[in-house]
Amino acid sequence: MTEPLRPRAMGADLERLEAHAKVTGTAPYAWEHPVSEPTYLHPVQATVARGRVTDVDARAATALDGVLTVLTPFNAPGLARGRDAELEVLQSDEVAFRGQLVAAVVAETPETARQAADLVRVDYETRPHDVTFSADREDLYAPEVVNPDHPTDTHEGDPDAAFAVAERAVEATYTTARYHNNPLEPHTTVAVWDDDRLTLYDSTQGVHTVRAAVAGMFELDPSRVRVIAPHVGGGFGSKGTPHAHLVLAALAATRTRGRPVKFAVTRQQMFAFVGYRTPTIQRMRLGAGADGRLVSISDDVVETTARFKEFAEQTGVPTRTMYAAGHRRTTHRLAALDVGVPSWMRAPGECPGMFAPEVAMDELAEACGLDPVALRLRNEPERDPDSGLPFSSRNLVACLTEGARRFGWDRRPPLPRATLRDGWWVGTGVACSLYPVLQRPVSSASVRFRDDRCYEVGIGATDIGTGSRTALTQIAADALEVAVTDVEVRLGDSALPTATVAGGSSGTTNWGSAIVAAARRFRAECGRDPRPGDEATSTMPANPETSRLSMHAFGAQFAEVWVDAATGEPRVPRLLGVFAVGRVVNPRTARSQLMGGMTMGLSMALHEQSVLDERFGHVVNHDLAEYHISTCADAASVEAYWIDEHDPTVNPMGTKGIGEIGIVGTAAAVANAAHHATGIRVRDLPVTADALLTDP
Amino acid sequence: MAEGALRGRPAVADEFRAAATAELADAAPLPGNAFKVPMARNLLVAVLTSLARATEGTRP
């Protein structure tokens, strides 16, 4: 284990370093980087869900003043094949899903490009498509692994037999909807070729991820591709892996004689080709003794993937670690459909995956006549039931008890449908959160002492709005034992040392560890009184503790739900979460992350749902007017707290990652509270008025 | 239809419910919006009942 870092700047309530630039509109996002003589791309999307492009008639488009070129599957430059089907833009006439990119116009203005794209006529040979998701499909299959490399199925003991004889049993099917990530800043790329060098100003969660993907598709040495992303307006996972638009912009820029091509995906296009969260169906079976102690846990997951590229969400994985039982099973089966490929969305796996078990636990508490908090305390495992390893720290009990105290849980009536107040049924619910500590020892950082006596720290990390630039500055200051004002962290540029993607709540762990390693090397090599120009670079060392300990963050979320007795309309006037996430580097940005996650969980609980029209294969509510996201008025009171958790094994900072855990369990807490309010058990998200309506 | 059912009757929940039921008798919802019929009925009863309570003791 590396030596823990002494916290001086870590823990300080530091304002975001770029806050002023952001609120004054001077922080450049991808679109806003000044480039000379830009051109503008607007894509043409498939209007069939499956088939073949037989002809593209671009005459009317090219006749418009200001149209520079129209790319089609018949004239587009070639790309590498067999690396990533999603990125093989315009490489064949096949249409694999509705909304796929089938052509693109490049013009002198965005308006001209858009008008010309409307004029491009595409003829198709239409083939029958299949986008119907159901657990009853006969062609469900087991993927080799689930995201990113978890076993597809796990088995222990004989869960069916143990369930059959259990004194208390819950068996039910739970579903989560299809969700679209919807970061505020749309996916945007500005692509510039200079001979055989490509520069991309991209809205991405990982500049090196993009560089590797694009270099691969264009068969370039990665040193010839530079990706720049100093500020990113949210990603929620949808900018964690490169999508087709990025390659299309770079492809188009090969045709503009060095002029930059700018492509900002529209909100409606964001519902077609930049990823989304698969809908899930989880069949849960919990068997327990009369005392509530679990003896059998089964979680059988069915979810979707695209027929042309596989993505298998690890929905059943959290169940493997959350609670112990002598007999356990988790399985994943996929329905391959003619749809765009699902991808990461905030807490892939854990977020949809914790909905079913945490509602099932509420049902089990009811079946046992136990308080839902007490049931969970009774089922606290001593080791990770999945790996058999001890937990590096598991402070779920503290989260539950501290949360119950803050929330006023002891005033809760034990039975549902007990409180009617001013025409509203009032109830409360609880659910747990967990998220793994993910780390990969591949990120590097550099430390250079400048003429102005400032320590410049370089790492190709990205700040997608989370505050990582600020947190990394605090970590660097502590690692160098200087004030934060003596440090400048540079990130968001693939010319800087290689860094992992901003995903899996792993940024602070991976990048922070690399910075600590680089700072320590700098001090070892250059001393405490360095000369300007002194520099050191280091890679994050592997953490041997990861093979000896199971590392997870935990949390407990409490929700109050009011349900209109006449209409069934649910509201959530209060959410309260307590988390155990290791050291909090910056309480201001950490609190925002946790509150943001909880609010997104509230949004999942009550509002968000992408509706697929099975006749045509597209999402019909593909804009923010019809894809409902919780607003400030919906999130009346969201409180996030954390306990003091000291875990020196996870990394030198003692941090566990906070970007995703806030969205894990929220929807279950809300559904459980809705049940406590009304006595109606809703197992399908979102929880809407029609499900809670009673007709006396 | 609802107004006719209520004319000359006491302003109480049971009467409102009967009137709302009569008003909605011809509603022919689809599977996806069938909930709107009881929702409308409940809402009519709830709003009229609260209005009746609020105006209790005042002249019509």
Quick: pLDDT tens for A487-501: 999 999 999 999 999
Choose among A451, A535, A440: nearest CA to A496.
A535
- Bridge partners of A594? none
Please, is A375 exposed, middle or buried when counting C-beta atoms within 10 Å of its C-beta (0-12, 13-18, 19+)?
A: buried
Q: Which residues of chain A have pLDDT under 70?
A: 1
Residues of B in contact with A690 (CB under 8 A): 35, 39
Chain B residues with a Cβ under 8 Å from any Cβ in chain A = 35, 38-39, 41-43, 45-46, 50
Nearest CA to CA, how far is B12 from chain A (Å)?
A: 16
Coil/strand/helix, residue A251: helix
Same fold, A33-128+184-234+239-271 and A440-542: no
Q: Is B6 a domain residue?
A: no
SS3 for A386-416, per residue? CCCCEEEECCHHHHHHHHHHHHCHHHCCCCC
pLDDT band at B58 (very low <50, low <70, confident <90, very high): low
Catalytic residue among A350, A488, A560, A660: A660
How much is the pLDDT for B59? 56
pLDDT of residue B57: 65
Overall CATH class of domain A33-128+184-234+239-271? alpha beta
Q: b/e per residue, A322-356, with b = 16+ CB within 10 A?
A: bbbbbbbbbbbbbbbbbbbbbbbbbbbbbbbbbbb
Pick from A423, A565, A693: which is nearest to B38 by CB? Answer: A693
The domain total for chain B is: 1
Q: How far apart are CA A562 and CA A678, in angstroms?
A: 9
> Rounded to a whole number, what is the distance in Å from the CA of A569 to chain B's nearest CA?
10
- Nearest alpha carbon to residue A309 among A338, A281, A280: A338
Task: With CA atoms as reference, report the closest residue to A640 among A661, A609, A657.
Answer: A661
Element (H, E) at A317: helix A317-322
pLDDT at residue A314 in the model = 98
Q: Shortest CA distance to A495 belongs to which of A193, A204, A211?
A: A211
Q: How far apart are the first and last CA of chain B?
A: 21
Nearest to A452 by CA among A403, A485, A490, A419: A485
Q: Residue A538's closest CA among A657, A648, A441? A: A441
The residue to which tokens 């994050």 are assigned? A540
Q: For residue B35, give the chain A residue with the closest CA.
A: A690
The answer to the question of residue B60 being in a domain is no
Q: Provide the residue range defining the domain that includes B27.
A: 13-54
With 0-12 CB in 10 A as exposed, 13-18 as middle and 19+ as buried, what is A625? Answer: exposed
Closest CA to A364 of A397, A325, A391: A325
The answer to whether the Cβ–Cβ distance between A689 and B35 falls below 8 Å is yes
CATH topology of domain A440-542: Aldehyde Oxidoreductase; domain 4 (3.30.365)
Best probe of the A interface among B42, B51, B53, by most A CBs < 10 A, is: B42
Protein fold of A145-179+277-437+548-693: Aldehyde Oxidoreductase; domain 4 (3.30.365)
State how far Cα A22 lies from the chain centre: 23
CA–CA distance, A477 with A587 (Å, rounded to integer): 17
- Give domain status of residue B5, yes or no: no
A365: burial class by Cβ within 10 Å (0-12, 13-18, 19+)? Answer: buried
Residue type, A16: R
H or E, element range at A53: strand A51-57
Instruction: Tell me what ipTM this predicted complex has.
Output: 0.92
Hey, which bits of A212-370 come out as E strands? 225-228, 261-264, 280-288, 294-306, 327-337
Q: Quick one: closest CA in A to B44, which residue? A: A566
Helix, strand, coil percentages for chain A (3-state, nearest 5): 25, 25, 45
Distance from B14 to chain A by nearest Cα, in Å?
A: 11
The verdict on residue B1 lying in a domain is no
3-state SS, A353-391, equals HCHHHHHHHHHHHHHHCCCHHHHHHHCCCCECCCCCCEE
Residue of A nearest to B38 (CA): A695
Tens-place pLDDT, residues B14-55: 999 999 999 999 999 998 899 999 999 999 999 999 999 887
**Tokens 């088995």 appear where?**
A155
Which chain A residues touch B if contact means CB-CB below 8 Å?
A: 423, 565-568, 689-690, 693-696
Q: Closest chain A residue to B33 measured between Cα atoms?
A: A690
Give domain limits for chain A: 33-128+184-234+239-271, 145-179+277-437+548-693, 440-542
B46–A423 CB contact, under 8 Å: yes
Report yes or no on B44 lying in a domain: yes
Can A138 be counted among the known catalytic residues? Answer: no
How far does CA A227 lie from the centroid of its chain?
A: 21
B21, closest residue in chain A (CA to CA): A695
d(CA A646, CA A593): 20
Sheet (strand A225-228) strand order: A67-71, A101-107, A39-45, A261-264, A188-194, A197-202, A225-228
Q: How far is A686 from chain B (nearest CA, A)?
A: 15
Q: Which amino acid is at A282?
A: Q
Q: Does A565 sit within 8 Å of B35, measured CB to CB?
A: no
Residue pointed to by tokens 């022919």: B28
Contact assessment for residue A341 and residue A235, using Cβ atoms and an 8 Å cutoff: no
Q: Residue B43: list chain A partners with CB under 8 A.
A: 566-567
Distance from CA of A566 to the nearest CA of B (A): 5
Partners of A696 on chain B (C-beta within 8 Å) are 42
Residues with Cβ within 8 Å of A309's Cβ and at least 6 positions away in sequence, in order, are: A84, A85, A86, A341
Tens of pLDDT along A604-651?
A: 999 999 999 999 999 999 999 999 999 999 999 999 999 999 999 999
* Angle made by CA atoms A40, A43, A47, in degrees to the nearest 5: 165
